């Protein structure tokens, strides 16, 4: 298993899942398309400096379902910061768009593979550009 390739694919797949979620173009029952990618002990440092846990995101996601029509999130400019057998740190650029706004961020994400090789997000740090 190439964890760096799998981690980069996770970023793309997560952005697709969150895009569908915000647009309301998936079923509410598909919440694990987003949450299921995150380690139970996941921590995110948002661009404003706030810290969000897996539990925080699980409570927040149902509230934002279908609230951003025309939203999209796309990642590119991947850099492998660190990689070992079951761990990778990936740095990437992300552009989020709505019909009226565009914002960019640089993110650094830690991915861990479990015993069966399933890749999960363990940590995410986002910075506004």
Q: Could you tell me the pLDDT band of residue 116, with boundaries at 50, 70 and 90?
A: confident
116 or 20: which carries more pLDDT confidence? Answer: 20
Strand partners for 111: 88, 121
**For 3-128, which CATH class?**
alpha beta
pLDDT of residue 52: 98
Dig out the tokens for 128 from the structure: 């506004």
Q: What is the pLDDT of residues 72-90, one digit of tens each?
A: 999 999 999 999 999 999 9
Nearest to 121 by CA among 103, 108, 105, 104: 108
Cβ neighbours for 59, distance < 8 A, ≥ 6 positions apart: none
Sign, CA dihedral 20-104-45-85, equals positive
The two beta strands, 38-45 and 51-53, are antiparallel
Containing 97, the helix (H) or strand (E) segment is strand 87-97
d(C-alpha 34, C-alpha 16), whole Å: 9
Specify the length of the chain in residues.
129
Does position 1 have pLDDT exceeding 90, yes or no?
no
| Helix intervals (H) in 1-129 | 3-23, 32-35, 54-64
Radius of gyration of the chain (CA): 14
Domain ranges of the chain: 3-128
């Amino acid at each position: 298993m190439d964890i760096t390739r799998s981690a980069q694919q996770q970023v793309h797949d997560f952005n697709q899942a969150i895009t569908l979620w915000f647009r309301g173009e998936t079923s509410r029952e598909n919440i694990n398309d987003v949450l299921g990618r995150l380690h139970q002990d996941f921590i995110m440092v948002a661009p404003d400096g706030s810290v969000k846990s897996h539990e925080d995101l699980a409570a927040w996601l149902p509230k934002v379902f279908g609230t951003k029509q025309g939203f999209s999130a796309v990642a590119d400019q991947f850099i492998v910061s660190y990689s070992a057998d079951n761990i990778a740190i990936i740095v990437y650029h992300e552009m989020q768009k709505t019909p009226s706004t565009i914002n960019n961020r640089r993110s650094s994400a830690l991915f861990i593979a479990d015993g069966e090789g399933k890749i999960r997000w363990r940590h995410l740090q986002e910075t506004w550009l």
